[in-house]
């Protein structure tokens, strides 16, 4: 595979901010300059093209101000290297920043100083990727509070290894690094409900995927980024990111499973933004894609989607749309088809079934399913599953004097459950 060309960090930050073209970024920078009081600054698409080239020039001070203001990252994190060394010496040409850093650093920062990177053996890439694969499998069973620090520490190691590897080993490290930051972002968003930290991790994942020149991984990362505005009800921002995700998916042979998952992500965003009808259409399209299939295998890292997962998306959307009998049938079918290892998703399905019964005026059945969700959450914590249970309890407010609801409250607000929920 050829090495990617251009300033992949600035490109990643541009796409993450919702600017799908260089012209979009140029226009936004010019508008932002006026907003922060920089008069007479007009940035054209040719300038953005130079900044996204292999050797981006160090921008003028006013341009630096507006870039940092609009994209929220330092100049080094955006792929620019200053035309001077930290010691004050003037090099013959700017140094390219090397990938190194962590989520908490706010970007993939430059390696300081003149030190020549230590060359790692060719096996370094495979060794680093093996740990990434282990973390991927552990996600489904290990408590997020325990796994998350390990994933971040591993990603920090990957940032240090990347400038010390070359060729195939470098690409392997970059791919595994992107997957590690993607996993960190998934834990932040789905397990810990920390959308801001998730956004930071997803951006770092996208930058690493650019280093690996892996468009399918890039597509998956950007689609995850769409969840953040989608769950917040910002339809335009979510769909803008989905357009970018689908664009990346067209750049390499994509499996039917990946294409169907993109439909499912967009469907969930539409559901959260109040358009269940469009969401159901997208889910129907995803079902057709899976039924037809194609000859392209799914990437190894795509372990979060299956026909049963798509049916779970569908059941939730039918619930939101008010199609209660259909939602009940769909979700019960999901429980029958779901593998025993799907502990986290099972808590969500139980929560949705409880919501169906609450909306149908069946508090006893609703509390029963909510109790099963809590049983599952006691084994494997999942913030998304707990959110479902809390939504059901709010829906049961008209029945709060009934014995079953009080029993649910005893479980929902017991010492162990309350402390666990508030500490995550």
| CA-based max dimension of the chain | 78
Contact between 334 and 306 under an 8 Å Cβ cutoff? The reply is no
Quick one: pLDDT at residue 419? 54
Angle between helices 61-71 and 22-35 (to 10 degrees): 100
DSSP 189: I
Q: What is the pLDDT of residues 303-323, one digit of tens each?
A: 999 999 999 999 999 999 999
What is the C-alpha radius of gyration for the chain, rounded to an integer number of angstroms? 23
DSSP 101: E
Low-confidence ranges of the chain (pLDDT < 50): 1, 84-116, 424
Residue 102, classed as helix, strand or coil, is strand
Contact between 135 and 150 under an 8 Å Cβ cutoff? The reply is yes
Quick one: pLDDT at residue 55? 85
Quick one: pLDDT at residue 415? 60
DSSP 85: -
Sign of CA dihedral 393, 394, 396, 399: positive
Look up residue 275 and give its two tokens: 């358009």
Quick one: pLDDT at residue 111? 37
Residue 82, classed as helix, strand or coil, is coil
Q: Return the residue matching tokens 């159901």.
A: 280
Beta bridge partners of 102: 107
Q: Whose CA is closest to 270, among 326, 227, 222?
A: 227
Contact between 324 and 356 under an 8 Å Cβ cutoff? The reply is yes
Q: What is the pLDDT of residues 346-369, one digit of tens each?
A: 999 999 999 999 999 999 999 999
Angle between helices 383-395 and 363-379 (to 10 degrees): 160
Quick one: pLDDT at residue 257? 97
pTM of this prediction exceeds 0.85: no
Q: What is the pLDDT of residues 147-164, one digit of tens each?
A: 999 999 999 999 999 989
Residue 98, classed as helix, strand or coil, is coil
Quick one: pLDDT at residue 413? 85
């Amino acid at each position: 595979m050829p090495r990617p060309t251009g300033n992949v960090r600035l490109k990643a930050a541009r796409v993450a901010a919702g600017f799908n073209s260089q012209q979009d970024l140029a226009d936004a920078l010019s508008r932002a300059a006026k907003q922060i009081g920089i008069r007479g600054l007009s940035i054209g698409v040719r300038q953005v093209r130079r900044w996204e080239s292999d050797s981006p020039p160090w921008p003028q001070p006013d341009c630096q101000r507006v870039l940092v203001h609009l994209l929220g990252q330092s100049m080094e994190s955006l792929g620019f290297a200053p035309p001077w060394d930290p010691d004050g010496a003037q090099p013959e040409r700017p140094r390219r920043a090397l990938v190194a850093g962590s989520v908490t650093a706010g970007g993939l920062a430059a390696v300081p100083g003149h030190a020549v990177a230590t060359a790692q053996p060719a096996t370094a890439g495979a060794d680093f990727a093996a740990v990434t694969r282990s973390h991927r499998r552990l996600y489904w069973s290990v408590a997020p509070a325990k796994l998350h620090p390990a994933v971040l520490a591993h990603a920090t190691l990957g940032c240090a290894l990347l400038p010390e590897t070359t060729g195939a080993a470098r690409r392997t490290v970059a791919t595994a690094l992107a997957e590690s930051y993607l996993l960190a972002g998934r834990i932040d968003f789905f397990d810990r409900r920390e959308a801001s930290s998730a956004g930071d991790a997803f951006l770092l994942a996208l930058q690493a995927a650019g280093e690996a020149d892996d468009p399918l991984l890039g597509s998956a990362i950007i689609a995850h980024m769409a969840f953040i505005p989608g769950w917040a009800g910002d339809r335009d921002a979510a769909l803008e990111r989905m357009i970018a995700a689908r664009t990346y998916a067209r750049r390499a042979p994509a499996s039917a499973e990946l294409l169907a998952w993109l439909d499912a992500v967009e469907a969930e965003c539409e559901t959260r933004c109040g358009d269940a009808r469009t969401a159901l259409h997208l889910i129907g399209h995803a079902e057709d894609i899976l039924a037809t299939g194609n000859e392209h295998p799914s990437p190894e890292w795509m372990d979060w989607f299956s026909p049963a997962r798509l049916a779970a998306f569908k059941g939730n959307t039918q619930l939101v749309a008010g199609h209660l009998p259909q939602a009940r049938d769909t979700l019960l079918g999901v429980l029958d088809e779901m593998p025993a290892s799907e502990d986290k998703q099972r808590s969500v399905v139980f929560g949705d079934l409880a919501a169906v019964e609450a909306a149908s005026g069946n508090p006893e059945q609703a509390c029963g399913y909510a109790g099963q969700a809590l049983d599952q959450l006691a084994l494997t914590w999942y913030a998304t599953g707990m959110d479902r249970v809390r939504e059901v309890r709010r829906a049961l407010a008209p029945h709060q004097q009934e014995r079953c609801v009080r029993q649910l409250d005893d479980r929902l607000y017991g010492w162990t459950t309350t402390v666990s929920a508030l500490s995550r």
